[in-house]
Structure 1
Amino acid sequence: MPGLYIGSTSGFAGKNLLAMALGSKFQAQGYRVGYMKPIGTLPRDMENRMGDEDAFFIQDALGLSQDLELVTPVLVTEELREQAFSQGCPDLLSKIVSAYSTLSREVDIMLICGSGSFLHAGKYCNVAGLDVAKSLGAKVLLIDRFIKEFYYDYIISAKELVGTDMIGAVFNCVPEPQMKEVRDQIAPMLERKGIPVLGSIPEDNLLNAIRVGDLAQRLGGKIISVPGKQDSIVENFLIGTMQVENFMLHFKKRRNSAVLVGGDRSDLQLVALEGKCPCLILTGNLYPNDIILSRSEVLGVPLIVVKDDTYTVAKRMETILESSKLRDTVKIKHGIDLVNSILDYHTITTALGIRDS
């Protein structure tokens, strides 16, 4: 029974997306798929059952109903951290191996999803991805998300430590201008070092999108108009700190972007509303005048008021969009279809020793 550990060079790189794509593909081929997230970093209580938020989500997406205590045998709680820092870590690795042994008995393929960085996250308790993958005897697939740069040095270091059990790497969220660099330079260099590049997933605005309601919550803001449009999708954001004429030029090119503007800039607020942006974020805890509020209601554009200044909110928006999770049905299907159209499944199935049907 083959096991595939999905690790990454950093957090929020796309491990969940890869797990769902692989799982759905294998299920469509008739294989019984098992799933495990050994280290749960997002503890959550669901119907009086403690588990990891991502694990709940993946199980639901793949239609699985495995025992949550086995799916995520280690939950990183405050109590665990305190014990690890003051007394030392318990033997967590044995607990993970035992849970894996039980889960894998009645499936054809086990998908094991890492938490954070493959080489580093969990090292303080000897349960970094590298340690877990080796203990389970699993093959390793590493995903690297492009955020200003590629982490090919990290991938090479991982290969040196994992050895032949590392079957390849996947690049995620690659902007179009960088695709040529991956194809013509990075991929050939990695392949000379025994690391096949099994797919380069292009940057996709829908996958990075977030719902207006979720955005308001994560910004600590308050929706003060059109609450019924909280499911509208925000793909990017535009900062309104310029003259109206310049703002209009930028705004026309980025129609699905939330507009981030000072609460006192009613001129830019009105332009953004008339252009029907997905939402308007007003900074500085300043509420709009009656004209802006009325046009917002008429045009169906939600207004979000946040306490922080424009610069602070812009930095938070960058982080939010970089780490936005797949939780929307449309995003999930779109993401799975995109990944499955790109991944080199022949190499993956050959490495796992299963039939590629």
Structure 2
Amino acid sequence: MTGLYVGSTAPFSGKNLFIAALGLHYKRKGLSVGYMKPVGASPAKDAATNALLDQDAAFIQQVLGLEQDPGQVTPVVVTQEFLAKAFASGCGDMMAQVGESFRTLSQNKDLMLVGGSGDLLNSGKYCGLEGTSVARVLGLKTLVVDRYGANGINYDAILAAKEQLGDSLAGCAFTDVPPEHLDEVRGFIQPFMERRGVPVLGMIPRDPFVGGIAIEDLAAGLDATVICSPQATDTIVEDVLIGTMQVENFMIHFQRRTHSAVVVGGDRSDIQLVALEGGCPCLILTGNLYPNGMILSRSETLERPIVVAKQDTYTAVRRIGHVWQQQKFRDQAKIAKGAELVASALDFPALERQLEM
């Protein structure tokens, strides 16, 4: 049995995407694939059994067509009760529980994929389950995923992982790399990392659809109300356009970004109508102001949801940015598209050499 631990330099970097892509790839090649997420931070109750589970792990099981015991897949689910006990009296030997679950799940498997939680170096340290320790105890090689951010690639965190993991670091992969920075990453960062003994196994370019977010998730993140066309709130929006300008200027920007949700004051019916007629997937009206009857009617006819937010436009846009940054890959269409991107960009032969497959 071959195993791989997938960790990241920070939360929300694309671990689930890589787990799904790798699992689907190797299942298509005929391998028996197992999955585990030792520590889960998204607790929920199973609808059928009322048992505690992790939402991310449940989604990945669904994507990979697995029916493993959720309690084995995620033996440690972090709840408020778990944290209270950990801080008051300690957690006990959680690693032994993780090891037992891993041995059970890996039976008769060709490949075992283990997903990290939070960031590889620090998350879970309070209970002895930080990613580097888990990978080491389970005897797994590690792939570190880093999402291109405001400051570029987090090479310091990757090198820190190399120091801790040594030769058991299989390599790193970069996600959400803007197309205009791909040459820079290939020309400077990749050679630097490889000189330091860290293979760069893939660079996943930024994709508007994969990086988009469902309207219903935007509404939930804003604590806002969907007042029209709720049946279409599973639509993915790729960006947000702020409609505070004059109509003529708005049209110039909107023509280049027609898959964007438009954030606009509830009293700006001129912008609202132009956006709806131009194919805008969603209006987000700020200031807790409702639209007039004509806008409501067009929204229903065109099946374009309208979301009413309590916040002013500036606050709503900041909140949307936060929600966008912390979104998780729990949408089947996005996972399918993202898996295609990973499959086309990841150096599978190099990864397989690292794993001795």
Of residues 289, 308, 312, the one that matches 1:309 is: 312
Contact 1:37/1:113 (8 A) holds in 2? yes
Tell me, in whole angstroms, the C-alpha distance in 1 between the residues paired with 2:230 and 2:95: 47
- SS of structure 1 residue aligned to 2:107: helix
Offset at residue 327 of structure 1 (A): 2.8
Provide the identity percentage.
Answer: 50
Q: Which residue of 1 aligns with 2:42?
A: 42
2:14 maps to 1:14: yes
Tell me, in whole angstroms, the C-alpha distance in 1 between the residues paired with 2:67 and 2:123: 27
Q: Which residue of 1 aligns with 2:65?
A: 63
Q: Which residue of 2 aligns with 1:351?
A: 354
Offset at residue 302 of structure 1 (A): 1.5
Tell me, in whole angstroms, the C-alpha distance in 1 between the residues paired with 2:231 and 2:43: 30
- SS of structure 2 residue aligned to 1:250: helix
Tell me, in whole angstroms, the C-alpha distance in 2 between the residues paired with 1:8 and 1:37: 13
2:200 maps to 1:193: no
Offset at residue 233 of structure 1 (A): 2.0
Q: Which residue of 1 aligns with 2:321?
A: 318
Offset at residue 320 of structure 1 (A): 2.2
Offset at residue 243 of structure 1 (A): 2.0
Q: Which residue of 2 aligns with 1:89?
A: 91
Q: Which residue of 1 aligns with 2:208?
A: 205
Of residues 242, 267, 270, the one that matches 1:239 is: 242
Q: Which residue of 2 aligns with 1:271?
A: 274
Q: Deviations over 1:42-79 (max 9, x none)?
A: 11112223211011111111111112111101111111
Contact 1:273/1:301 (8 A) holds in 2? yes
2:88 maps to 1:78: no
Q: Which residue of 1 aligns with 2:137?
A: 135
- Give the counterpart letter for 1:36 in structure 2: M
- SS of structure 2 residue aligned to 1:350: helix
Q: Which residue of 2 aligns with 1:182?
A: 185
Contact 2:75/2:98 (8 A) holds in 1? yes
Offset at residue 308 of structure 1 (A): 1.1
- SS of structure 1 residue aligned to 2:96: helix
Offset at residue 80 of structure 1 (A): 1.0
Instruction: Give the total of aligned pairs.
Output: 354
Q: Does 288-297 or 64-73 show the bigger shift? A: 288-297
Q: Does 10-19 or 262-271 show the bigger shift? A: 262-271
- SS of structure 2 residue aligned to 1:34: strand
Q: Which residue of 2 aligns with 1:298?
A: 301
Give the CA RMSD over aligned residues: 1.3
Tell me, in whole angstroms, the C-alpha distance in 1 between the residues paired with 2:229 and 2:89: 52
2:228 maps to 1:261: no
Q: Deviations over 1:12-64 (max 9, x none)?
A: 10001100111111112221111000001111112223211011111111111
2:221 maps to 1:218: yes
Contact 2:288/2:309 (8 A) holds in 1? yes
Tell me, in whole angstroms, the C-alpha distance in 1 between the residues paired with 2:344 and 2:86: 43
Q: Does 65-74 or 6-15 show the bigger shift? A: 65-74
Q: Which residue of 2 aligns with 1:108?
A: 110
Offset at residue 296 of structure 1 (A): 2.1
Tell me, in whole angstroms, the C-alpha distance in 2 between the residues paired with 1:319 and 1:223: 20
The TM-score normalised by the length of structure 1 is 0.96
Contact 2:221/2:320 (8 A) holds in 1? no
Q: Which residue of 2 aligns with 1:119?
A: 121
Contact 1:209/1:324 (8 A) holds in 2? no
Q: Does 60-69 or 289-298 show the bigger shift? A: 289-298
The TM-score normalised by the length of structure 2 is 0.96
Q: Does 207-216 or 77-86 show the bigger shift? A: 207-216
Unmatched runs of 5 consecutive residues or more in structure 2: none
Contact 1:21/1:337 (8 A) holds in 2? yes
Contact 1:208/1:324 (8 A) holds in 2? no
Offset at residue 217 of structure 1 (A): 2.4
Tell me, in whole angstroms, the C-alpha distance in 1 between the residues paired with 2:305 and 2:30: 45
Q: Deviations over 1:269-294 (max 9, x none)?
A: 22212212000000111111222222
Q: Which residue of 2 aligns with 1:52?
A: 54
Unmatched runs of 5 consecutive residues or more in structure 1: none
- Give the counterpart letter for 2:56 in structure 1: D
Tell me, in whole angstroms, the C-alpha distance in 2 between the residues paired with 1:228 and 1:201: 32
Tell me, in whole angstroms, the C-alpha distance in 2 between the residues paired with 1:250 and 1:191: 41
- SS of structure 2 residue aligned to 1:150: coil
Q: Does 276-285 or 289-298 show the bigger shift? A: 289-298
Contact 2:63/2:332 (8 A) holds in 1? no
Tell me, in whole angstroms, the C-alpha distance in 1 between the residues paired with 2:136 and 2:313: 46
Q: Does 112-121 or 203-212 show the bigger shift? A: 203-212
- Give the counterpart letter for 1:40 in structure 2: G
Offset at residue 214 of structure 1 (A): 2.9
